[in-house]
């Protein structure tokens, strides 16, 4: 039997040698048990992408890409440009919508006097400051009209950052008699628009906005300017917006599509004096730019 096995093994090895392959695994195992014949050299395939977990995957392990995007977005340059789009792109579709809003307000002002106009919203992040800035810009584009934009949000002021202003004094200093009103008003370059910003954040903003000095300040501004637009804080949760809106001739309510709930809107409308309400401004709605439409 041993001779027969050796003959079969030699014949199988000779056949494999002619074909160019090594002996089958079964015979290799018998070789190790039998004559301890060395196994043929195995040809390893270097598959770099299969077994190295640290292989170069730019979408997985480049941490600087995400951090760079975070630093770039943290500056808020995109939001700032949106807030002053009527100033940067006066011929854009969005700027035309704010012009349509200005025409609607002027039509109402022809029936009753509207010099001081306040803008508010139910909660933050609905585009109230954006609407106030762009409406003030397109209103200031009117010929022979003096326009003033007042930042009444002493908790989170944003107007001076959006317009690139560096005020040395603001509304809080005026209400505390630290500076005169003329020293706190800043002129915006490139447009006939003036701004009364917020420079210092006081510890008692609600008391300052509800003081007699605030009423006197608004009355003085109404005598000086043709249109005074006031950006107020969010109405829900704070008394600041209600206090400022009661001192103005008109009120615009800014709502954001797919964000402002009907319950929040009804709560704000019940809180405000509806006789001063001029209308609602819909923000964040996707409209066909090929057609003419109104913002409010």
According to DSSP, the residues that pair with 37 across neighbouring strands are none
The pLDDT of residue 285: 76
The pLDDT of residue 288: 61
CATH class of 85-283: alpha beta
The pLDDT of residue 162: 87
Q: What is the pTM of this model?
A: 0.69
The pLDDT of residue 193: 92
Burial (CB < 10 A; 0-12, 13-18, 19+), residue 234, is: buried
The pLDDT of residue 34: 47
What are the C-alpha distances in Å from 93 to residues 80, 97, 132, 242, 286? 18, 6, 17, 32, 12
Helix H segments across 228-284? 240-245, 262-271
What are the C-alpha distances in Å from 116 to residues 44, 53, 166, 225? 83, 65, 25, 9
The pLDDT of residue 190: 81
**Residue 171 and residue 152 in contact, taking contact as beta carbons nearer than 8 Å:** yes
The pLDDT of residue 189: 85
The pLDDT of residue 40: 54
Q: Which of 216, 92, 230 is nearest to 153 (CA)?
A: 230
The pLDDT of residue 76: 52
The SS3 assignment for 271 reads: helix
pLDDT averaged per 10 residues, the chain (length 296):
61 65 48 49 51 52 47 50 68 85 92 93 89 92 90 91 89 93 91 91 92 95 95 90 93 89 88 90 72 42
Domain positions in the chain are: 85-283
């Amino acid at each position: 039997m041993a001779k027969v096995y050796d003959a079969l093994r030699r014949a199988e090895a000779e056949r494999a040698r002619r074909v160019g392959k090594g002996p089958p695994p079964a015979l290799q195992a018998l070789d190790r048990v039998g004559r301890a014949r060395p196994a043929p050299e195995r040809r390893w395939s270097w598959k770099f992408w299969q077994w190295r977990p640290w292989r170069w995957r730019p979408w997985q392990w480049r941490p600087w890409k995400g951090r760079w995007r975070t630093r770039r977005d943290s500056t808020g340059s995109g939001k700032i440009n949106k807030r002053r789009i009527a100033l940067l792109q006066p011929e854009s579709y969005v700027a035309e919508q704010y012009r349509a809003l200005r025409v609607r307000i002027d039509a109402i002002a022809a029936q009753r006097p509207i010099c001081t106009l306040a803008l508010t919203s139910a909660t933050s992040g609905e585009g109230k400051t954006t609407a106030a800035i762009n409406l003030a810009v397109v209103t200031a584009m009117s010929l022979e009209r003096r326009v003033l934009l007042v930042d009444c949000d002493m908790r989170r002021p944003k107007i001076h950052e959006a317009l690139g202003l560096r005020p040395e004094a603001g509304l809080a200093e005026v209400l505390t008699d630290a500076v005169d009103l003329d020293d706190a008003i800043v002129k915006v370059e490139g447009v006939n628009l003036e701004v009364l910003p917020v420079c210092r954040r006081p510890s008692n903003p609600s008391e300052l906005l509800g003081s007699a000095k605030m009423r006197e300040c608004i009355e003085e501004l109404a005598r000086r300017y043709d249109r005074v637009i006031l950006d107020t804080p969010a109405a829900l949760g704070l008394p600041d917006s209600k206090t400022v809106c009661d001192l103005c001739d008109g009120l615009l309510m800014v709502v954001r599509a797919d964000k402002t709930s009907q319950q929040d809107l009804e709560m704000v409308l019940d809180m405000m004096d509806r006789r001063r309400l001029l209308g609602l401004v819909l923000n964040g709605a996707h409209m066909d730019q090929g057609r003419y439409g109104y913002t409010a």
